[in-house]
């Protein structure tokens, strides 16, 4: 894809060292307007540290991070005006309702008068919190609290959103609704950086992903682009009308077939992903009457497991 605009988020050889731990090690990637970028990796990989640096809550040991072209080191105030950060945990307050909570953060960003009122109303409408405006926030469900935190994050209409584990602990319906809101934010032209352990969720909403392990960025790109650089096996199931024993012998003689198992008229095995069409053609040309052919295609979880090694710091 040819990019015609400058990136909204840019990590430039970012490093962060804590005592003997190199939490972030030479990480570089870009995120563009209207793009949802998934940031994935095991616990302790350095995702939250990177995000805190982007949010100007921490400083890099070396390298830099840019938001809308402004450095988190040299221009942190300009960065804060352009970025909204949703942490993986946020506090609730006693005797504060939804509107008062959003009003507090709107004031913190310097919004006043009609501008502040409009921002609060817009955020409540976007997050569907209109009917809960006067509900105490410590009585909200987990899903409603996540919506409120997202609303707080976007109260000043930032061009960049950094969301750290926003779907953690949500029920399926709340996750779907959150996913829809994130997609709408991207459609509005915002650059969204999101981390999550729910890889199936990320696969559905992310344009590209970055895979991090032990502070190092192992791969960046779409799932298809990253998959092209690794060998992934797919699970294949073939059902034939007859000659199942001959099919077993035919498959067993091939060097691209592993874990072959035959029962009744069905053969199951593993095969190199993305080569299923050629395999099916070869089976048919060999004279077998195929009545069923299916393959489990690679997912973001498959790519993650193949790229990472399960190492922790």
Cα separations in angstroms, 50 against 12, 33, 116, 214, 276: 11, 19, 31, 12, 39
29: β partners: 11
State whether 168 and 293 are in the same domain: no
Residues 231-238: what's their mean pLDDT? 78
pLDDT of residue 20: 85
Q: Is residue 92 part of a domain?
A: yes
State whether 65 and 164 are in the same domain: yes
Q: Is residue 303 part of a domain?
A: no
* Separation between Cα atoms, residue 87 and residue 198, nearest integer Å: 16
Per-residue pLDDT at 1 exceeds 50: no
State whether 18 and 108 are in the same domain: yes
State whether 219 and 277 are in the same domain: no
pLDDT of residue 202: 73
Q: Is residue 55 part of a domain?
A: yes
Domain count of the chain? 2
Q: Which is nearest to 38 in space by CA: 25, 47, 49, 27?
A: 47
What CATH number is associated with residue 64?
3.40.50.300
Per-residue pLDDT at 232 exceeds 70: no
Q: Is residue 84 part of a domain?
A: yes
pLDDT of residue 2: 45
Among residues 179, 199, 226, the one where a domain terminates is 226
pLDDT of residue 300: 60
Instruction: Name the least confident of 27-36, 74-83, 226-235, 255-264.
Output: 226-235
- Mean pLDDT of the chain, nearest integer: 87
State whether 221 and 237 are in the same domain: no
State whether 213 and 257 are in the same domain: no
Among residues 182, 206, 226, the one where a domain terminates is 226
State whether 125 and 254 are in the same domain: no
pLDDT of residue 36: 94
- What pTM did the predictor assign? 0.75
Q: State the CB neighbour count (10 A cutoff) for residue 261.
A: 9
State whether 50 and 109 are in the same domain: yes
Q: What is the pLDDT of residues 28-41, one digit of tens each?
A: 999 999 999 999 88
Per-residue pLDDT at 302 exceeds 70: no
Instruction: Name the least confident of 145-159, 259-273, 286-300.
Output: 286-300
Per-residue pLDDT at 11 exceeds 70: yes
State whether 18 and 43 are in the same domain: yes
Q: What is the pLDDT of residues 128-178, one digit of tens each?
A: 999 999 999 988 888 888 899 999 999 999 999 999 988 877 888 888 888
Per-residue pLDDT at 228 exceeds 80: no
What CATH number is associated with residue 282?
3.30.70.980
* Separation between Cα atoms, residue 42 and residue 198, nearest integer Å: 11
256: containing domain: 233-297
What count of Cα atoms within 13 Å lies in the side-chain half-sphere of residue 40? 30
State whether 180 and 253 are in the same domain: no
State whether 216 and 272 are in the same domain: no
pLDDT of residue 231: 57
State whether 173 and 268 are in the same domain: no
In the chain, DSSP assigns E strands to 9-18, 21-31, 36-40, 62-67, 70-71, 83-86, 160-164, 191-195, 208-213, 216-221, 233-240, 257-263, 266-272, 290-296
């Amino acid at each position: 894809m040819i990019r015609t605009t400058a990136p909204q988020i840019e990590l430039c050889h970012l490093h962060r060292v804590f005592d003997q731990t190199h939490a972030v090690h030479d990480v570089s990637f870009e995120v563009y307007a209207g793009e949802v970028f998934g940031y994935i990796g095991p616990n302790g990989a350095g995702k939250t540290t990177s995000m805190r640096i982007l949010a100007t809550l921490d400083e890099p040991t070396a390298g830099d991070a840019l938001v809308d072209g402004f450095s988190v080191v040299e221009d942190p105030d300009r960065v804060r005006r352009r970025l909204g950060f949703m942490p993986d945990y946020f506090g609730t307050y006693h005797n504060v309702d939804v509107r008062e909570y959003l009003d507090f953060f709107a004031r913190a960003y310097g919004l006043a008068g009609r501008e502040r009122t409009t921002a609060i109303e817009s955020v409540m409408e976007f997050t569907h919190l209109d009917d809960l405006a006067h509900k105490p926030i410590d009585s909200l469900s987990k899903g409603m609290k996540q919506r409120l935190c997202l609303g707080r994050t976007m109260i000043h209409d930032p061009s960049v959103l950094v969301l750290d584990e926003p779907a953690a602990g949500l029920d399926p319906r709340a996750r779907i609704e959150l996913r829809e809101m994130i997609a709408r934010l991207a459609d509005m032209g915002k650059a969204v950086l999101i981390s999550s352990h729910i890889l199936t969720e990320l696969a559905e909403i992310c344009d590209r992903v970055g895979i991090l392990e032990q502070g190092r960025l192992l791969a960046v790109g779409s799932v298809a682009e990253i998959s092209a650089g690794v060998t992934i096996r797919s699970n294949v199931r073939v059902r034939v009308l007859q000659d199942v024993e001959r099919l077993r012998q035919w498959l067993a003689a091939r060097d691209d077939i592993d874990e072959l198992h035959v029962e009744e008229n069905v053969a199951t095995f593993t095969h190199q992903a993305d080569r299923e069409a050629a395999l099916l053609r070869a089976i048919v040309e060999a004279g077998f009457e195929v009545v069923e052919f299916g393959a489990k295609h690679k997912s973001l979880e498959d790519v993650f497991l193949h790229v990472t090694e399960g190492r922790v710091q």
